[in-house]
Amino acid sequence: MRLSAGDLAGCLLEVGAVRLQPMNPFTWASGLKSPIYCDNRQLLGFPMVRDQIVEALTSLSLTYQPTLIAGAATAGVPWAAMVADRLKLPMAYVRPTPKNHGMGRQVEGPLAVGHRTVLIEDLISTGMSSLRCAEALRAEGAAVPAVLALFSYGLPQAEASFGAAGIPLAVLSSFEVLSAEAKTRGLLDFPGSEALKAWRADTVAWSRAHGGA
């Protein structure tokens, strides 16, 4: 059965991969306060869901005619490995920064030069870490026709950053779909829903208003 954006949003909520706490916000590593926290690694522990996600990523990857599948370290790596296995394609992974020892590589695995490389991420927030990985692939001589991700917060800065880089972003599920699913399931009341909208409109202002960076 084909995995819809709503199906995945429901799975994210059911397994606790996405948590919503508008009135008791999380603190991200950056120091920003957020009413939503996403840990898609949780999905790896559910074989049936995992299989559907890999099937969806595989189908989506094929539309870009890749010759190499790359995973953004670390959370994108297992998904990239499973997709590459399905497609019988070579697989690489991309570090956030080059190693400071050995060969000093940022792209690990086969050389990406000359390849059409689909980059797989688990989550898109601002998009900057994903785009740094994409630029590392380009620096090796690869074309990057798309970045694929399981889920995106849908932040305006991500849309702007991908547009400026000229790289399409395709996601299996989104903030809008998840918010609607959470309301349907009674997990979000009206104040909570409004808090999420305000946060996404201006993450920094929302964070500062709630005691964050």
Once rounded to an integer, what is the mean pLDDT over residues 74-103? 92
Q: E strand or H helix at 5, and its extent?
A: helix 5-14
In 3D space, the residue among 159, 195, 191, 197 whose CA is nearest the CA of residue 176 turns out to be: 197
Domains of the chain plus CATH, in order, are: 5-209 (3.40.50.2020)
pLDDT digits over 163-182, tens only? Answer: 999 999 999 999 999 999 99
- Angstrom distance (rounded) from CA 83 to CA 53: 10
pLDDT digits over 127-136, tens only? Answer: 999 999 999 9
Structure tokens at 75: 């959370």
Entry pTM: 0.94
pLDDT digits over 15-64, tens only? Answer: 999 999 999 999 988 889 999 999 999 999 999 999 999 999 999 999 99
- Angstrom distance (rounded) from CA 210 to CA 204: 10
Residue 196, burial from CB neighbour count under 10 angstroms (0-12, 13-18, 19+): buried
- Angstrom distance (rounded) from CA 35 to CA 163: 26
Once rounded to an integer, what is the mean pLDDT over residues 188-202? 93
Once rounded to an integer, what is the mean pLDDT over residues 137-162? 96
What pLDDT is stored for residue 1 in this prediction? 59
What pLDDT is stored for residue 103 in this prediction? 72
Structure tokens at 57: 């990523």
